[in-house]
Amino acid sequence: MRAVDVIRKKRDGGALEPNEIAWLVDAYTRGEVADYQMSAFAMAVVWRGMSMDETVALTRAMLASGRVLDFAHVPGVKVDKHSTGGVGDKISLPLVGAVAACGVKVPMMSGRGLGHTGGTLDKLESIPGFRVDLSLEEFERVLTDVGCAMIGQTADICPADKKLYALRDVTATVESIPLIAASIMSKKMAEGIDALVLDVKVGRGAFMKTRDDAEKLARTMVAIGRGFGKKVVAYLTDMSEPIGSAVGNALEAKESIQAFAGAKFTRSDLRELVVVLGGEMLRLAGAGGPDDIARVLDNGEARKKFRQLVVAQGGDGTAVDGAPVFAKAARMVRVNAEADGKVKAVDAEAIGRAAMLLGAGRRMTTDKIDPTVGITGVPLVGTVVRPGRAIALLHVNDESNLAEAEGMVKGAIEIAADPSIAFATTRILGRIEG
Ligand code: URA
């Protein structure tokens, strides 16, 4: 087989056979197909798309490029949750603690932040000592002993995806439903899970800007999961305004730990996502539902479980008790409202980009982040504001991009003199089952 023939067939709108896709991915992983050929292939897929059969074949090929974990010998049902990426999305921390406290095992493999979106691994690493680079043997030990474990994608899980994702990132070929679906699902199918809950974000702060595209992505991933014999449920959730009030790694880790203090101390949007998505994980495992998640968040059991996880992965458990162990930025700068009224919109992408300018995010996968910087006090749509009162706080170390970040945050928070603007009642836009 020749790469040029496979690329040409896709370029001309043909449907590839599973063996053609398997050959291309395998040859690329072994270095026999060049990056420039794989980039051309990815661009052809962006333009021509893929059928469901081709997308499943691509998922299988990327899965087969590496190790597939098998936790069948670890007692209990294993369930994971995956988000397609958002701003202020810190729900994995409380969710893992809560689901595991209800007796369901959670072997979670997460990603790092890229562009304006944040990543769970960066948030976890802001907890002093926390290790996300466990070996697969350590991962299994923590999963068995504690009931949950949180790590990054290791080099031997889906190496084809790792290589292809880095290429897509610099060749404007990320935004393709079959490529995103195969990328996410190959990694999830390698995790040794029985079931999966997908959080497909929709709106200004998400990859999928429209509900239509988000629904297509969700249906594609659910169908792939079914093809692998796994129970998969996808939620479409609103990502037009950030989740919670903090954006930035240590700031988000602190806010997420606050969720263990119960409903009274947690912003409603954050709490809702943890309860609904965690509840779905329990439901898929036949071990309960949203009320059980709410109960363990309120009675301290979720906190206790997450503390065990932090300690087992080398972290400072007192962080979970609320001890002031997180590193802090050098100073805080207020952003004040300039008008009277209510918050009409908070542009999640602009807030994410402002946090990135302050050093919280990466432009490229190789960039270093500053865990201490970011933004807190981000208001919900519907909040009443007064001129001269703070609408956000910037946490700053490097002052070089401060003015630009300040302007971006101001521009992101739209204020209108319209008393009818109300708080969103829910972030859940839909649920898709296989
Ligand atoms: N996350 C992934 O893991 N892959 C994609 O292609 C997009 C988001």
Read off the pLDDT of residues 57-101 as tens digits, 9 standing for 90 and up: 999 999 999 999 999 999 999 999 999 989 999 999 999 999 999
230, 265 contact by CB (below 8 A) = no
Ligand 1 site residues, Cβ closer than 6 angstroms: 84-85, 111, 165, 174, 179-180, 183-184
Question: Within a 10 A sphere around the Cβ of 417, how many other Cβ atoms?
Answer: 10
Pocket test for ligand 1, best of 62, 81, 184 (most atoms within 8 A of CB): 184
pLDDT, one tens digit per residue, over 185-238 is 999 999 999 999 999 999 999 989 999 999 999 999 999 999 999 999 999 999
CA–CA separation, 265 and 271 (whole Å): 10
The domain made up of 331-416 has a fold known as Aldehyde Oxidoreductase; domain 3 (3.90.1170)
Closest atom of ligand 1 to CA, residue 179: 6
Distance from the CA of 420 to the center of ligand 1, in angstroms?
Answer: 38
- Give the tokens for residue 82: 């995956």
Residue with tokens 């084809």: 160
CATH 3.40.1030.10 fits 79-323, yes or no: yes
Question: Within a 10 A sphere around the Cβ of 186, how many other Cβ atoms?
Answer: 27
Question: Is position 116 annotated as part of the catalytic site?
Answer: no
279, 94 contact by CB (below 8 A) = no
DSSP assignment string, 332-364: EEEEE--SSEEEEEE-HHHHHHHHHHHTSS-SS
Phi, psi for 6 (deg, rounded to 5): -65, -45
Q: Which residues contact 420 (CB under 8 A, 6 or more apart)?
A: none
pLDDT, one tens digit per residue, over 147-194 is 999 999 888 999 999 999 889 988 999 889 999 999 999 999 999 999
What is the model's pLDDT at position 426?
97
Provide the residue count of the chain: 434
CATH 1.20.970.10 fits 3-49, yes or no: yes
Q: Whose CA is nearest to atom 6 of ligand 1?
A: 180
pLDDT, one tens digit per residue, over 244-254 is 999 999 999 99
What is the model's pLDDT at position 236?
98
- Give the tokens for residue 193: 């899970």
Distance from the CA of 335 to the center of ligand 1, in angstroms?
Answer: 33
Percent of the chain's residues with pLDDT above 90: 93
Residues of the chain with CATH 1.20.970.10: 3-49
**Catalytic hit among 65, 110, 176, 183:** 183
| One-letter amino acid of 54 | E
Phi, psi for 151 (deg, rounded to 5): -135, 175
| 120-136 average pLDDT score | 96
Question: Is position 340 annotated as part of the catalytic site?
Answer: no
pTM of the model: 0.95
| One-letter amino acid of 430 | G
Distance from the CA of 58 to the center of ligand 1, in angstroms?
Answer: 14
> Binning pLDDT at 50, 70 and 90, where does residue 20 land?
very high
Cite the DSSP H helix spans in 2-34.
3-11, 18-29
**Catalytic hit among 78, 82, 271, 342:** 82
DSSP label of 235: E
- Give the tokens for residue 161: 């995806």
Residues of the chain with CATH 3.90.1170.30: 331-416
175, 214 contact by CB (below 8 A) = no
Residues of the chain with CATH 3.40.1030.10: 79-323
| One-letter amino acid of 121 | L
Distance from the CA of 180 to the center of ligand 1, in angstroms?
Answer: 5
Interstrand relation of 106-110 and 148-152 (parallel, antiparallel or unpaired): parallel
CA–CA separation, 206 and 363 (whole Å): 16
Our CA angle for 86, 257, 318, nearest 5°, is 140
